[in-house]
Amino acid sequence: MAKRLFDVFCAGLGLLLLSPLWILVAIWIKLDSPGPVLFRQERVGRFGKPFSIHKFRSMRVDAPALGPQITVGDDPRITRSGRFLRASKIDELPQLWDVFRGAMSLVGPRPEVPRYVALYTPEQRELVLSVRPGITDPASLQFRHESEILARAADPEREYVEVILPAKLRIAGDYVRDASVWGDLRLILATLGALRH
């Protein structure tokens, strides 16, 4: 209950205080490339329930038809505004709405698309999907340069499935077992600190 109250308060405050930034970002995206301001994608949430995650659109509208669901290095599908939005993590801000409505938490395992969740073992599904997915978590910090790691791989998709995803799931499992409000606060501060580098 304390975690949910914390999420609602912080997400609501963030939505209110950052509303001027949302307007500026929306105008920039519309001027930079045709298409909607927001990007929606199906992810798997708590207890395996699918939900739509929201981000500021950082890729061309036809991106899904032009490449894989993972982003690798200097992906040509990323728009000019999208490069800045991704680097600064501003593209993730609409997920504050997902937190406010209860589909996500500020801190929790990052939600995956169904095709990758299908690779989870039954034990991983039971543990990792027992909590709301989050905007940030320990794995997000450890793999914050994931696209660059994948760019160096001979087969990015295989690297993600066989190396990065299992590592993320181990970290997520550790988080779920040891989660606390104070731990979440430390992760939020660590995430804000990482944005400066």
- Give the pLDDT of residue 151: 85
- CA-based nearest residue to 106, from 182, 187, 174: 187
Confidence of residue 31 (pLDDT cuts 50, 70, 90): very high
Q: Judge whether residue 109 has pLDDT over 90.
A: yes
DSSP assigned state of 145: T
- Give the pLDDT of residue 196: 65
- Give the pLDDT of residue 71: 79
Token readout for 57 is 């659109």
Confidence of residue 197 (pLDDT cuts 50, 70, 90): low
Average pLDDT score, the chain: 92
SS3 165: helix
CA–CA dist 182, 45 (Å, integer): 23
- CA-based nearest residue to 120, from 72, 64, 161, 175: 161
Span 38-82, pLDDT tens digits: 999 999 999 999 999 999 999 988 877 777 777 777 788 999 999
